[in-house]
């Protein structure tokens, strides 16, 4: 498995039950995610890492509610409850996640004026996180993605990884979705059409 990496997406307190942007049953993936971490030689984690007053927070848009959309300079942006604020308990990895094996933690969403779903690019689809270069320099070309949420950060990461030439599998049994207005079905179909292996 030396040419393969497991990418664990945003398994953080705010995306688990009781968190600010809780994904239903988000915590239930932890036993399987931990099993997978144990079997991979290379593990990368992503961490949503927003500054306070991030532009994607509904609280920054008077009269707008969470889960509504607005137009930003880079396109349509879903507004979210304040979540995963830098240095808070909500931004921390879930305490049951066996994350210490990770060789790299990619923090995303730390630029105040742009959100970031993908592990590879900000939401402008152009500003890189550096993950692709890191993986290529390590000789890693095959990725398995797990985490939260299937239809946002996992799916956007998978689509970008395929676009960048990686061989990508998403373990759907080790993911959970927000499913906002049919987003799970839509993003699952986009991944399938792009050539992501859905396992």
Residues classed as catalytic? 10, 108, 153
Instruction: For residue 60, give Cα distances in angstroms to 54, 56, 111, 119.
Output: 7, 8, 15, 24
User: What are 167's two structure tokens?
Assistant: 């061989």
**Rounded to 5 degrees, what angle do the CA atoms 168, 124, 67 make?**
90
Query: Rounded distance, CA 135 to CA 166, Å?
Result: 10
Q: What is the DSSP letter of 111?
A: S
Instruction: For residue 64, give Cα distances in angstroms to 57, 61, 67, 79, 81.
Output: 10, 6, 9, 8, 11
């Amino acid at each position: 498995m030396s040419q393969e990496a497991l990418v664990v997406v945003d398994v953080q307190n705010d995306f688990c039950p009781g968190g600010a942007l809780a994904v239903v049953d988000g915590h239930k993936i932890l036993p399987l995610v931990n099993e997978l971490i144990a079997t991979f030689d290379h593990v990368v984690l992503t961490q949503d890492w927003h500054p306070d007053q991030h532009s994607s927070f509904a609280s920054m848009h008077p009269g707008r509610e969470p889960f509504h959309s607005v137009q930003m300079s880079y396109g349509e942006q879903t507004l979210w409850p304040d979540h995963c604020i830098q240095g808070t308990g909500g931004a921390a990895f879930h305490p049951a996640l066996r994350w210490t094996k990770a060789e790299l933690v990619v923090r995303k969403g730390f630029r105040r004026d742009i959100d970031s779903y993908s592990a590879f690019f900000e939401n402008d689809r152009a500003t890189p996180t550096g993950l692709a270069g890191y993986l290529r320099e390590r000789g890693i070309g095959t990725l398995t993605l797990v985490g939260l949420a299937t239809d946002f950060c996992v799916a956007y990461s998978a689509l970008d990884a395929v676009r960048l030439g990686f061989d990508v599998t998403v373990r759907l049994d080790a993911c959970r979705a927000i499913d906002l207005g049919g987003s799970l079905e839509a993003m699952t179909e986009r991944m399938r059409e792009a050539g992501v292996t859905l396992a």
